[in-house]
Structure 1
Amino acid sequence: MSNIAIVIEERAADIGNFLVGRLLPFRQKRMVGPFIFIDHMGPETISEPQFMDIAPHPHIGLSTLTYLFEGSIMHRDSLGNEVEIKPGAVNWMTAGKGVTHSERTPDYLRSITHKLHGLQIWVALPKDLEQMEPNFVHIEEPQLPHWSEDGVNYRLIAGEINNHRSEVPVYSPLYLIEIKADKDSLIKLGEHLYGESGLYILHGSVHAEGQEFGPKQILIAKDAKLCEFEIKAGTSVYIFGGEPFPEQRYIDWNFVASDIETLKIARAKWEQHQFPEVPGDDGYIPIPPVNPALGQKKA
């Protein structure tokens, strides 16, 4: 019996002045463990006037994780943090009851053509922490656990697996693992995984249960403990997942919550300019209207 429950194809999504590949949410699978939203950015060639200029915007009820393969983003938030995100580092911002941040091309890159490529991820917070105080952590690449086995290189971006634990301060049991193969290999991780699990193919190809899968596909496992696949040399994949929450989650724009009323309050606060401001960045993104045909989107 096949352990592959769903195969998700990357879909184009417009986030303003950028088109990204939307991976989650998907109509047949709104969440994988606590992972509620994943965008694949690029690879995009950035030059004037297509710089990344995502003005201050709010979040509640989630942690954002930015992980770049190429390029750079300047992160500023209402907590006073100003950090350049470079490839291999983890930018982890927990919104809790409310935070505002902006994401822009650094000034020194605005005079040259460069690439931007990476993942932007939202991890929903447990219900009892949805109203926690916001915080921010930046972890440089050398601080992330990494190891090699039989020609396969592993990096634990966030969470915990087996005897490895990332310094990223997550709030529920989860894992985000980077796997890069130097040679054809058989990957057996099932005994170390838990909860729900998804596999995103960035480069190369994966063989599982007699089928071949390629870039820009996500495989969702029925049972994470049966996770086993063949990976070709030069392939890069990302395994993500963890324990699902007992309650459903709703999404409205950049807000995530376990009840709709919380989303309505957050929407009104942003419209009335009641969220904290980002020091050194006075931009503002107007909140889009709720689609009357969809209402609040359930995750």
Structure 2
Amino acid sequence: MSNLASEIELECQCTEECGAVELLLQPKDRDLGGFSVRRLLPTARRKMVGPWIFFDHMGPAHFAAGTGINVRPHPHIGIATVTYLFEGEILHRDSLGSLQAIRPGDINLMVAGRGIVHSERERPAITQTDHVLHGLQLWLALPEAQEEIEPAFYHYPEDEVPATEVDGIPVRVMMGSAYGQTSPVKVFADTLYVEAWLQPGQRLTLPNAPERAVYVAKGALKAMDTDIPEHAMAVLSDQHGVVVEAVRETRLAIIGGEPFDKRYIEWNFVSSRKERIEQAKQDWKDGRFEKVPGDDKEFIPLPE
């Protein structure tokens, strides 16, 4: 999903009233042909949180039989994509020959590096009935020394992602280390990605990280005196021991990690060098990227 959705940023000055919240991002929904996408990163005021440079919340999208998600082959460079579903299924294909159904709880990690092409569609068994698609799509910028590594694909089924309870709150550590758990999902820098499900009134102390943010996928939170409504992302200060409290039943995602130097982003391309993005654009126009086996008849043209 590469079309940028517009967003609204509400800045919260770091005062005693605000405490831990430096910036509150509240996106507008955008309909992308039957399903909505909420974009939290990048924004005009906040390009990245740690290595995370892109954060989309898609759906929940309800598809009638005979319809569904149908993203034609398109390229990436300089990033690793992370796909995580709450509901539904996506069929991933890429130019390495990978063919993988992504289901709720799984983590799909596609390393673009010097360049990869992939498509996101659905199996006929899914599209022939009414169905729902709901999840998160995120991009990790690669460290400058690894931006041109060989592309790779990793799939981690649900039972390989560590889960625990923190004061009665179910927590999954998707990437990095937190709450005494370390995820097996490959990382390229200090990276944090955690999911938690809180009942009303439950309180969770967030893990520390050089940069971090909390996203409310469902429900509502309070962080000290700051309200974090549904579908908002709170970018946090470096204050230790930040506690959030669920106002109602809440599903949240915590992202963060080490800060990166500036990255340029255009369409699906990310790099520390503008000229590398220009090269990738020309390579895509000239057909120099690898094709996707089994899905090589269509492609998304470079936006002009």
Name the residue aligned to 1:116: 133
Partner of 2:76 in structure 1? 59
User: After superposition, where does 1:117-196 map in structure 2 within 5 Å?
Assistant: 117-161=134-178, 163-182=180-199, 184-189=201-206, 192-196=207-211
The C-alpha deviation readout for 1:159-191, integer Å capped at 9, x for no partner, is 2225321111110101110011245222113xx
RMSD of the alignment, in Å? 1.6
Post-superposition shift, 1:57?
0.4
In the TM superposition, residue 11 of structure 1 has moved relative to its aligned partner by 2.3
Query: Displacement, 1:233?
Result: 5.2
Partner-residue secondary structure (3-state), 2:37 = strand
Query: Could you give the per-residue CA deviations for residues 214-260 of structure 1, whole angstroms, max 9, x where no partner exists?
Result: 21010011215242221245211111010011x20000100000010
Pick from 89, 93, 101: which aligns with 2:110? 93
What is the distance in 1 between the residues matched to 2:73 and 2:290?
10
Contact 1:17 1:50 survives alignment (8 Å): no
SS class of match (1:108): helix
Q: Does 1:274 align with 2:274?
A: no
The answer for the alignment partner of 1:6 in structure 2 is 23
Tell me, what secondary structure is at the counterpart of 2:188?
coil
**Could you say which residue in structure 2 is the equivalent of 1:251?**
265
3-state SS of the aligned residue for 2:96?
A: coil
Asked whether the equivalents of residues 169 and 198 of structure 2 are also in contact (C-alpha less than 8 Å), the reply is: yes
| Compared CA separation, residues 14 and 251, structure 1 to 2 (3 A) | farther
**Matching residue of 2:251:** 236
Cα deviation code 1:248-285 (max 9, x no counterpart): 00001000000100000000000001001100002211
SS at match of 1:268: helix
Identity between Structure 1 and Structure 2 (%):
38
Q: Which amino acid aligns with 2:152?
A: N
Instruction: Give, in whole Å, the separation in 1 of the partners of 2:20 and 2:167.
Output: 25
Q: Post-superposition shift, 1:12?
A: 2.7
Q: Is residue 2:95 matched to residue 1:81?
A: no
TM, length-normalised to structure 2: 0.90
Structure 1 stretch displaced more, 274-283 or 163-172: 163-172
Deviations 1:123-149 (A, max 9, x none): 100000000001010001111111012
The number of residue pairs the alignment matches comes to: 286
For residues 164 and 242 of structure 2, what CA distance do their matches in structure 1 show?
19
Please give the per-residue CA displacement for 1:185-209, whole angstroms capped at 9, x wherever unaligned: 22113xx421111000011221122
Q: Is there any run of 5+ residues in structure 2 with no aligned partner, and where?
A: 1-15
Which segment is superposed worse, 121-130 or 43-52?
A: 43-52
CA distance in 2, matches of 1:22, 1:253: 14
Name which of 32, 41, 55 aligns with 1:24: 41
Structure 2 counterpart SS, 1:234: strand
Kept after mapping to 2: 8 A contact 1:151/1:182: no
**Greater alpha carbon shift after TM alignment, 280-289 vs 217-226:** 217-226
Q: Secondary structure of 1:92's partner?
A: strand
Q: Is 1:47 matched with 2:52?
A: no
CA contact (8 A) 2:223 2:242 kept: no
Q: 1:109 to 1:63 in 2, by over 3 A?
A: same
In 1, the alpha carbon distance for the partners of 2:270 and 2:196 equals 29
**Change over 3 Å in CA distance of 1:223–1:205 after alignment to 2:** same
Name the TM-score, length of structure 1 as normaliser: 0.91
1:259/1:159 Cα in 2 relative to 1: closer, same or farther (>3 Å)? same
Task: Give the aligned partner of residue 295 of structure 1.
Answer: none
